[in-house]
Amino acid sequence: MVARKVSRQASKGKGQTHESGQGAACAGAFSSLRYRKTRDRVIELLLLACGLVAVFTTLAIVFILFYESSFFFETVSIKDFLTDTMWTPLFADARYGIAPLVAGTLTVTGVALFVAIPLGTIIASTCPNSRPTACARPSSRSSSCSAPCRPSSMDTSRSSWSRHCCRS
């Protein structure tokens, strides 16, 4: 009866133990739990600080961009900036039309998409066929096949490759 009472008190974290040492294990578990909670809180605060640094950096960049561009737009009208077709900032008669830069950016983007979309589609449609599904799935039996699941340069037919790699 007395051992049960002492054991219950030890499991409640009172620090009293009986001969088996259960209280010491409980005290260790509580200190481990306290350590984990402290560590988790420190990590949370570190991640919060990193997030706040990123947000404040972004806000600072936007502020500086608007602040510095306000001086530029005192000498150049927004209408000329958006609609002028010449970008010659170093000439005697400086002109700051953004249209050629936007047109160049859109042209490069269009050419990249024209190449990347068909090429990516072709590669994506042929990739799943490069390895048989029987080899892609883990087998239920232990793997006794020591050969790698890759076709040789001479034998690329799916059926013989599948027979070689995935014998059942």
pLDDT tens across 119-158, in order?
A: 999 988 887 665 555 555 555 554 555 555 555 555 555 5
**Would you say residue 94 lies in a domain?**
yes
Looking at the domain assignment, is residue 105 inside a domain? yes
Tell me, yes or no, whether 116 lies in a domain: yes
pLDDT in tens, 90-120: 999 989 999 999 999 999 999 999 999 999 9
Q: Phi and psi of 146, rounded to 5°?
A: -90, -10
Residue 89 is assigned to a structural domain of this protein: yes
Residue of 125, 128, 147 lying closest to 136 (CA atoms): 128
Which of 135, 122, 129, 136 shows the shortest CA–CA distance to 168? 135
In this structure, is residue 23 part of a structural domain? no
Domain total in the chain: 1
Q: Kindly state whether residue 110 falls inside one of the protein's structural domains.
A: yes
> What range does the domain containing 113 cover?
76-124
User: 83 lies in a domain?
Assistant: yes
